Structure 1
Amino acid sequence: MNYFNNIFSFIFVLNLVLANAWPFPTYFVYIHDALPDHSSSLTLRCQSKDNDLGYKDRTLFFCHFYWNNKDLRFDVFNKHIIDHCKGTDGDLGREPGMYECHWKVQEDGFYFASSRKDEYEKKYDW
């Protein structure tokens, strides 16, 4: 199956404002669907803890994932994860000052990588 068809690209674009800092860093959080072909669809609901997109130590986004009678809820972006997101350094045609984090959903659990080029590390079981 085509790479783009195999990936569920759910992108959060977060503008995190650090008190009077400029330019504001932008974070892209990708959630890739790497579940088996022809299996049940992955369903997810993502939201923020609140609407505070200002201070990086308080910004929190979490998702609730559902697949094959399994479900799990966890933070996909918070003050601990932010330090592991890598800058794009102009990669992918993006300006410096943009950062990305990647989550991959597999049959056995959830994996995290700092960039699309890094190795994924398992963080959660279903």
Structure 2
Amino acid sequence: MSYFKNNNNSLFFSFIFVLNLALVTSSSLTPKPSLFTPGYLVDIVDALPNGSPPLKLRCQGKNHDLGDRTLNVSEEYSFMFKAQYSGGTLYFCHFYWNGKDKVFDVFNDNISSGCGSLAAFLSQCYWKVQDDGFYFAGRQDAQFEKRYSW
């Protein structure tokens, strides 16, 4: 009789251990392995008219301030990162040009689905800044779609 009682206790504690392990590893506080999480390359190109004032921008993620940048016409700024295993990766930029400014997400979970594949586990998200607004495409050679006005 004591054999079954001890065996049931062992099963019960094993179940509790596995349940706790599952809860801890699914917690957003637990670091996730990133070996197979996709990488992303965000490219921003100044496609403003020739002779335009420089485009200034500052991009940031949750824990990453990428600093201030200044682009002249036809110049490009790129940054690369690994997506969070559990989703929720976010990068936004604040753009300044010719007395105008605009802030928006250049990468989030919704935008990621429109990014184009460059290689296994690497995708590109391409933004083109023009005098009438901001255009997005999955690759530089793809069809651009206007997403935002100044």
Q: Same fold (TM over 0.5)?
A: yes
2: CA distance between counterparts of 1:34 and 1:56? 34
Q: Does the 8 A contact of 1:112 with 1:123 survive in 2?
A: yes
Letter in 1 for 2:129: V
Runs of 4+ in 1 over 4 A off after TM superposition: none
Structure 1: tracts of 5 or more residues without a match: 1-18, 90-95
Secondary structure at the aligned position of 2:102 is classed as strand
Q: Does the 8 A contact of 2:91 with 2:105 survive in 1?
A: yes
2: CA distance between counterparts of 1:29 and 1:102? 6
Secondary structure at the aligned position of 2:42 is classed as strand
Q: Does the 8 A contact of 2:37 with 2:85 survive in 1?
A: no
Matched with 1:38 is 51
Matched residue pairs, number? 102
The one-character-per-residue Cα deviations of 1:83-113 (angstroms, maximum 9, x if unpaired) are 1111114xxxxxx221001000000000000
Per-residue deviation, 1:21: 6.1
Of 117, 123, 126 in structure 2, the residue corresponding to residue 87 of structure 1 is: 117
Secondary structure at the aligned position of 2:113 is classed as helix
Matched with 2:144 is 120
Structure 2: tracts of 5 or more residues without a match: 1-31, 65-82
Bigger Cα Rg: 2
Work out the percentage of aligned pairs sharing the same amino acid.
49
1: CA distance between counterparts of 2:138 and 2:86? 17
Per the alignment, do residues 113 and 86 of structure 1 end up closer, same or farther by CA in structure 2, a change over 3 Å counting? same
Letter in 2 for 1:35: L
Per-residue deviation, 1:66: 0.2
Alignment of 1:1-126 (within 5 A): 19-20=32-33, 22-50=35-63, 54-55=84-85, 57-89=87-119, 96-126=120-150
Q: What TM-score, normalized to structure 2?
A: 0.62
RMSD between aligned residues: 1.9
